Chain A
Amino acid sequence: MMLAGLECRQKYSPPLLQALTGYLVVEGVINAGQDTTRIRLSRTKKLDDSAGVVPEAGATVLVQSEGGDRYQLSEDSAGYYTVPYIGANPGQKFRLFITTAGNRQYASDYVEFKKTPPIDSISWERKKNGVYIYANTHDNTNKTRYYRWEYVETWEHHAAFESDWEWRREDTQIVYRTPAERTYKCYTTRPSSDIVTTSTAKLSSDVVYDKQIIFIPASTERLGVKYSVLVKQYAITAEAYKYWQQLSALTEQLGSIFSVEPTELTGNIHCLTDSTEPVIGFVSASTVEQQRIFIDRQQIGEWYWPIYTGCDTVIITDFLQAWYEVPVRPIYPNNPYFSWFEFSTESCTDCRFQGGTLVKPPFWP
């Protein structure tokens, strides 16, 4: 909501604050139905701390029902605690009970286990400035009202030149690549990092119509070849909705003139050992619904990607003098006496330079 022509944004490094930190962060959804429940425990860290996420390992994590049932989660990797199956019915209330390795106890409020309605469709629309991906769902019983989505995007992307050959300098040979050695097609997978929620509380019926989940700006890499997204839908409570809204306002939407003032944010997890100790996170309980769609480059019209700058090939006859490393294709493929090749660089022939992996995901067509 600002006149961007005049405004000016510069990077800012804050003064280093010597405040105490290292608070417990609890993230996850109690999936008390048939699926796996996975809870992640970590710690807050100082802003200038360049280490990754600080996992909280060695804790005892329990899911407790209001009726007294207990389900212990096991730590499958540092900070991740899972239980494969709880098997409860929606409507029951559950909470999380944590005892850390430091022997401090934490518990969440009891939260209602909600059944998530199925996704009606994941649709998309090409507009001038890019592609919008929407979720559509509804609940005939009008009970869900608050929704949250997560998603995992995967896209295929290519190197500038496809090379079927490899120059082996040590035995001065150009050899044909096996399919496993090809570096032309890559797949990058990325989970969502933004908060997507909506509420139908103000609507006469519980219908989510074309809720924007993802926006892919025009002519960017994700839709350069082929794109897929797996959208996960969660039903949440009104309190959880409020928490996610605030978290989004405080951590994603600051910076406009009319942004809210930063405040403290309180979730639904409390430290039982010391009630003044802040704990970060909001635990919900629900089933999950998911749906995957694919979008092909051909379906979306004009899309100026890839743009490979600085990639070219040169014809090289004396391979020992080659200053480019990768043979792309022979000039006279049918003439064994003239073994001239177009050469290019590794970064122009190996898609992994743009990120991703050569392994084709199992769901990829």
Chain B
Amino acid sequence: MRHYLLILSITVLASTARAQTAKTITGNFADVPFNQFIQEVEAQTGYHFYYDASQTDSLKITYRGDRVPLTTALDEILQQYGLRYSIDDQGHIFITKAVQIYTTLPPGFFGTKKAVDTTSFAVEEPEETEEEKAKNKLKASLENKLFEVGVKTNTIGQGNATIAGYVRDEKTGEPIIGANITAENKKTGTVTDQFGYFSLTLPKGRQVLLITSIGMNDTKRQVMLYSDGKLNIDMFEYVPTLKRVIVSADKTVNVKGVDMGVQKINIKNIKQIPTAFGEADVLRAVLTMPGVTSVGESSTGFNVRGGAADENLILFSDATIYNPSHFFGFFSAFNPDVVKDVELYKSSIPERYGGRLASVLDVTSREGNKKKFAGNGGIGPLTSRLTLEGPIDSGRTSFILGGRTTYSDWLLKQIPNDDYKNSSARFYDVNLNISHEFNAKNNLYITGYLSQDKFRLNSDTTYKYSNKNANIKYKHIFNNKLYGVFTAGVDAYNFSISSVHNPVNAYKFAFDINQTNFRADFNYSPNNKHTIDFGLTSILYKLHPGTYDPDDKQSLVVADHVQAEQGLESALYIGDHYDVSSKFSVSAGLRYSMFNYLGPQTQYEYAPGLPRETVNIIDTVNYPKGKVIKTYQGPEIRLSARYSLGENASVKVSYNSLRQYIHMLSNTTAISPTDIWKLSDAYIKPQLGDQVSLGLYHNFKSNTIETSVEVYYKRLENYLDYKSGAQLVLNHHIETDIANSKGYAYGAELLIKKTAGKLNGWVSYTYSRTMLKTDDPLVTEPVNKGAWYPSDYDKPNIVNFIGNYRFSHRFSISLNVIYSTGRPITLPIAEYYYGGSYRVLYSDRNQYRIPDYFRTDFSMNIEGNHKIKQFAHNSWTIGLYNLTGRKNPYSVYFTSENGVVNGYKLSIFGTVIPFINYNFRF
């Protein structure tokens, strides 16, 4: 064999030399599919190409040349992919690759193109390792093998059959979420769900399924579909070989999906975005998406399309996270090593979600490696983290356990101000996920999350807060067309403030929120035109709005407990995704939600028509345990439709309405960890919101460039605002301090995103406004005399650039450029002398703006060598946050000091912040 090959290569060289004088090619190819490239070259040269389409169909060719000799061009292009060619006298060009030779070929092995028996040209590539060889062999054989699905029959019946199964990572056994499965030439397809599960109905007979997913090598399966059946698909991680390869998975979700205003970002991209302390941060990444704003740096909350910070439902593996940040918002509560990806729904909110007005942020955590024990971690100046994962038994059970902690006290000690010497701030979080597969139809998933923060700054008061979440999910596949997921869980959030400095006044204030959830979600795919989701959810809330207790034996503090409140939020939903034609799809959903405010509770009654003030209390009513005090209910509509404008473009429209029964009470600009939550009750109505949006989507260059324009208009009702000087904590009748408001928001979001190539990232521009107005006849002094005013997070113009450039597989740089209009502030209109000092007088709210915001961040990601076999893979992230050192104002404020008024501009990061982080994986 060797001998034969040697002779062959000499022949090839000789013939190459002879042909060189002849033909040239001219062209500018950018990410052009291989077969298209070949067609073009054939047209220009008159040569005929022979190649194995299965080796080349995932290749995208990028080449520019003007009258370049064909051989020069081919040398350059084909070499990158390890392909070789030879030209014979008849003008035939044979392209071959170092492939394993198969003596028996399955039918349809070759593409429809003129193919040649590769056996006679196979060349063994010397540098290929045994492992790679085995993998390539496995991959190639899987792709070429004909899978028989269903009960085999001699003749293939008429009609359709459903094929269902899981798409998993071959290496770790973890499910691949959001993988596209499309039937070749059939224009139908589906996307895997959060468990990697898919179900696809196709005509019986011979089918080719194409499976694509970000970060994985595209693959395909030859299927002979006899009747309903099962097919599990393993995908191979895209391990960059050290050659230039452009991967372009078929990422057409933005154009082809019906959903609008959905931004998905996987952890690989999140890790490229520079952050202040070098650790990948899920919430920072969310803030770079169009339509998302915040009141300022390091603030915990984010605002989606004009919604308040409490209008975002933040889910971490289906657990509701009430406080998604650590350390004053400098870190998000999600350990980046446990996160798989993040999806933000800001317009089309699937009917299975509800309970918040503005958005759903769905943070998906990883399942552990099912095949081998592995770990990874990171070390940074303020935090370190470690994650371990692996199988528990023979591939059916896996776990992932992640932990993160901080040792930031040293930073506080560096602060020259004496006040901070006695300060400390600590946090940790722990994640545990276990997944178990009983059999092909039954799976169990257990998720646990715990986070805790504790800080004491500049005072003798200690603050603590903690998220505790646990849930158990059971997935049962009834048949190929129907499966159900049953979830039960508990979510808890609590915080406390305590001070023991003065023994007489020593106190502890505590707040907590506990919810017990149950939900059942079903997915039914009767045929390839309909996908029906239906289910029910129920949440039982129990809140302790405030307990104030003595915290020292000498303390004279009298315990003051605001009565606990209970509520039950339930919903039924059904939605149908209907592909009317290949061009037109509709998704229509209805969610009917109901909220019961439950006893025991003591409620004050106010004189009708008079302002709700303590002087107008006319009665006190006691409700017994379990008694329904107040019920709110209503339908929520989720509609969206898509119409394709050709292969790469579509237009979409959607209408969504939502209801929210739990509210955060906060009269600070930013969310503070000591903000309390409140259920809707007899006086506090549910917040209502609806939104209509329209979008245009167009992809270019084989879907490697996505562009979109979305516009929206949104209405908000029963938005909570507060009377001047409202007391929110330990208030036994909070309704006296609340002023209902309404609002509207509108905006346009432009996004250009490049998903492949050396340079990737996105540029977005958002124009948006959010206006509020006190709309409560029982409020005597409405904000700004009842006129419309801009909300705190109303920032009309926002431009984000997030870019990553890969110089090589081991070195890349990232750059963020962020610009936004300054947020609105209330400026004083006058000053006066009172209480021994000049003081300022404020008038109309939010009539001025702080200076515009501009920030640039830079980071370098340096990876160690890419040998597959080594103990640990290392990488370094080094960068500069706020590269230009601009003192971006967080706020402008006025304070009386030593008798005079001083105005200040406060910047949180007023300087360049260098950072370094070491990451490893084994």
Contact = CB atoms under 8 A, between A and B. Distances in A.
Q: Do A and B bind each other?
A: yes
B905 A10 contact: yes
B238 interface: no
Nearest to A259: B668
A281 B837 contact: no
Nearest to A205: B556
A258 interface: yes
A46 B415 contact: no
B669 interface: yes
Contacts of A13: 903
Given A261-B845, A280-B841, A193 B835 contact: yes
Given A9-B906, A14-B892, A255-B904, A1 B830 contact: no
B781 A4 contact: no
Interface stretch (B115-123, B762-770, B894-902): B894-902
Given A10-B887, A19-B843, A202 B896 contact: no
Given A5-B411, A207-B504, A257-B299, A44 B832 contact: yes
A321 B631 CA distance: 95
B415 A23 contact: no
B909 to A, nearest CB: 6
A265 B724 contact: yes
Nearest to B425: A3
A318 interface: no
Nearest to A195: B835
Contacts of B57: none
Contact of A264 (B412, B842, B887, B905): B842
Interface stretch (B128-136, B141-149, B803-811, B821-829): B821-829
A207 B556 contact: yes
B725 A265 contact: yes
Interface residues of B, number: 80
Contacts of A5: 411-412, 414-415, 420
A207 to B, nearest CB: 6
B832 A193 contact: no
B558 A204 contact: yes
Given A11-B903, A45-B830, A205-B556, A251 B839 contact: yes
B709 interface: no
Interface string B793-828: 000000000000000000000000000000000111
Interface string B723-735: 0110100000000
A46 B827 CA distance: 12
B907 interface: yes
B896 A251 contact: yes
B827 to A, nearest CB: 5
Contacts, number: 225
A194 to B, nearest CB: 7
Contact of B906 (A47, A204, A255): A255
B672 A258 contact: yes
Contacts of A3: 328, 330, 411-412, 425, 457, 908
Interface string A1-30: 111111111111111010101110101000
A11 B906 CA distance: 9
B458 interface: yes
A25 B558 contact: no
B830 A21 contact: yes
Interface stretch (A100-108, A174-182, A242-250, A343-351): A242-250
A257 B836 contact: no
B465 interface: no
A125 B305 CA distance: 53
A27 B905 contact: no
B906 to A, nearest CB: 5
Interface residues of A, number: 68
A341 B505 CA distance: 60
A7 B781 contact: no
B771 interface: no
Interface string A226-253: 0000000000000000101011001111
A203 B415 contact: no
B893 interface: yes
A354 interface: no
A115 B556 CA distance: 23
A contact face: mostly helix, strand, loop, or mixed = loop
B837 A46 contact: no
Interface in A33-51: 42-47, 49
Contact of B842 (A25, A193, A250, A257): A250
Given A1-B457, A5-B412, A47-B901, A261 B669 contact: yes
B895 A253 contact: yes
Given A13-B903, A193-B899, A259-B669, A150 B842 contact: no
Contacts of A6: 908-911, 913
A194 B836 contact: yes
Interface in B769-807: 781, 783, 792
A281 B833 CA distance: 10
B333 interface: no
Contacts of A264: 724, 781, 842-843
B719 interface: no
B836 A193 contact: yes
B848 interface: yes
Contact of A262 (B502, B503, B842, B913): B842
A44 B832 CA distance: 5
A191 interface: yes
Contacts of A10: 887, 904-905, 907, 910
B667 interface: yes
A334 B345 CA distance: 94
Interface in A61-92: none
Nearest to A282: B834
A29 B297 CA distance: 44
B311 to A, nearest CB: 18
Contact of A254 (B412, B457, B558, B895): B895
Contacts of B901: 47, 251
B910 A7 contact: yes
B300 to A, nearest CB: 10
A355 to B, nearest CB: 13
A192 interface: yes
Which of B296, B412, B727, B904 has most A Cβ within 10 Å?
Answer: B904
A193 B898 CA distance: 6
Interface in B614-669: 667-669
A129 interface: yes
A120 B903 CA distance: 39
A247 B418 CA distance: 27
A46 B414 CA distance: 41
A41 to B, nearest CB: 11
B725 A203 contact: no
Contacts of B831: 44-47, 49
A97 B475 CA distance: 75
B910 A281 contact: no
B835 A7 contact: no
Contacts of B669: 257, 259, 261
Interface in B54-74: none
Interface in B252-276: none
B298 interface: yes
Contact of A260 (B507, B667, B833): B667
Given A7-B907, A53-B833, 10 more contacts: A5-B411, A7-B890, A14-B892, A23-B830, A46-B831, A209-B556, A247-B839, A251-B901, A257-B299, A257-B669
19 contacts: A5-B414, A6-B908, A7-B890, A11-B905, A15-B848, A19-B830, A44-B830, A129-B419, A191-B836, A203-B556, A209-B505, A247-B839, A251-B840, A251-B896, A257-B908, A258-B670, A263-B783, A265-B842, A266-B724
Interface of A: 1-15, 17, 19, 21-23, 25, 27, 42-47, 49, 53, 129, 150, 191-195, 200, 202-205, 207, 209-210, 242, 244, 246-247, 250-255, 257-266, 278, 280-281
Interface pairs A-B: 3 shortest CB-CB: A8-B910, A209-B504, A21-B830
